[in-house]
């Protein structure tokens, strides 16, 4: 019995150490303004085991297409950018085929309007211009400063574990497209929003995480959003680490 107790304690200690493994991420911005101080304060609050560099576009795409990208455990996109070269597109796809951890937040859904493959990567598309899709004309919409009811679709998933349904003061996107094989994590019944607002989409060997929430300081300070982001980073890195080693 004594040995069993010691074993349990050691497992708890090892599990804690493993969960707190050092993670180094690259936060990619550019193409859309945001409140930088509260945004980076949010990342500072996630724990000392998560460190980050920050880089704006177009420099970020140049780095992604270079060997320097290998020093990052995950790429976190908070950009809204449209300029990308053929070699940079190829770099994105090669990284995903190898299993590089990538997380996309909020307005990153609007990026690369003319690169059709991007929506297959991120799992959806925000249509800035009216577009004919499967016989229907779709144009996406947005609404600032609303209270969004959030439902946890996959409560047992590591990204959402421990979260209960919550409300957040944020921005909704409506009438955006989603890929048929996404695995929903969050949904909402807000009338101005599309149903699913966070999901996982597999591309190559990467399970890409997208979270539509995260427009401004109110969202950045929301403890549920911070927990979601922290667990999303940890899960994504752990999930893909073996692919990149």
- Rounded (10°) CA dihedral 77, 79, 83, 88: -10
* Other beta carbons within 10 Å of 172: 22
pLDDT of residue 244: 72
pLDDT top residue among 211 and 134:
211
Tokens matching residue 52: 């980050």
Q: Where are the beta strands (DSSP E) in 134-195?
A: 136-138, 141-152, 166-174, 177-178, 183-187
pLDDT of residue 21: 87
Among 42, 76, 49, CA closest to 225: 42
Tokens matching residue 176: 């955006």
pLDDT of residue 245: 65
The band of 243, judged by pLDDT with boundaries at 50, 70 and 90, is confident
**Is residue 19 predicted with pLDDT exceeding 80?**
no
Angle at 191 between CA 188 and CA 193, to 5 degrees: 55
pLDDT of residue 78: 98
Q: Which helix (H) or strand (E) holds 230?
A: helix 223-244
Among 93, 82, 83, CA closest to 120: 93
**Helix H segments across 104-188?**
116-122
157: helix, strand or coil: coil
* pLDDT tens by residue, 158-199: 999 999 999 999 999 999 999 999 999 999 999 999 999 999
pLDDT of residue 2: 46
d(CA 218, CA 225): 10
* pLDDT tens by residue, 101-141: 999 999 999 999 999 999 999 999 999 999 988 888 999 99
Q: Which helix (H) or strand (E) holds 51?
A: strand 50-56
pLDDT of residue 10: 40
49: helix, strand or coil: coil
**Is residue 5 predicted with pLDDT exceeding 70?**
no
**Is residue 16 predicted with pLDDT exceeding 80?**
no
* pLDDT tens by residue, 34-91: 999 999 999 999 999 999 999 999 999 999 999 999 999 999 999 999 999 999 999 9
Contacts of 118 (CB under 8 A, 6+ apart): 111, 112, 125
Q: Where are the beta strands (DSSP E) in 157-218?
A: 166-174, 177-178, 183-187, 196-203, 206-211
Phi-psi region at 99: left, alpha or beta (left = phi > 0; alpha = psi -120 to 50): left
pTM score, whole prediction: 0.91
Is domain 23-244 given the CATH code 3.40.50.880 in the classification? yes
């Amino acid at each position: 019995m004594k040995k069993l107790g010691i074993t349990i304690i050691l497992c708890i200690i090892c599990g804690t150490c493993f969960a707190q493994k050092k993670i180094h991420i690259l936060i990619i911005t550019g193409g859309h303004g945001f409140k930088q101080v509260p945004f980076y304060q949010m990342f500072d609050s996630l724990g000392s085991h998560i460190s980050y560099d920050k880089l704006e576009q177009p420099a970020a795409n140049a780095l992604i297409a270079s060997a320097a990208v290998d020093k990052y455990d995950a790429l976190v996109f908070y950009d809204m950018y449209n300029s990308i070269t053929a070699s940079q597109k190829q770099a994105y796809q090669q990284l995903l085929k190898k299993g590089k951890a990538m997380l996309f937040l909020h307005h990153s859904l609007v990026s690369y309007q003319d690169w059709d493959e991007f929506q297959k990567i991120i799992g959806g598309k925000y249509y800035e211009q009216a577009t004919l899709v499967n016989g229907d004309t779709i144009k996406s919409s947005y609404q600032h400063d609303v209270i969004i009811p959030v439902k946890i679709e996959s409560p047992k998933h590591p990204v959402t574990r421990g979260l209960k349904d919550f409300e957040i003061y944020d921005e909704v996107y409506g009438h955006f497209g989603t890929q048929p094989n996404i695995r929903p994590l969050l949904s909402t019944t807000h009338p101005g929003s599309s149903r699913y607002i966070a999901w996982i989409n597999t591309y190559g060997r990467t399970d890409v995480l997208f979270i539509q929430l995260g427009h401004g300081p109110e969202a950045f300070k929301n403890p549920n959003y911070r927990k979601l982001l922290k667990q999303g980073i940890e899960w994504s890195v752990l999930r893909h680490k073996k692919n990149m080693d």
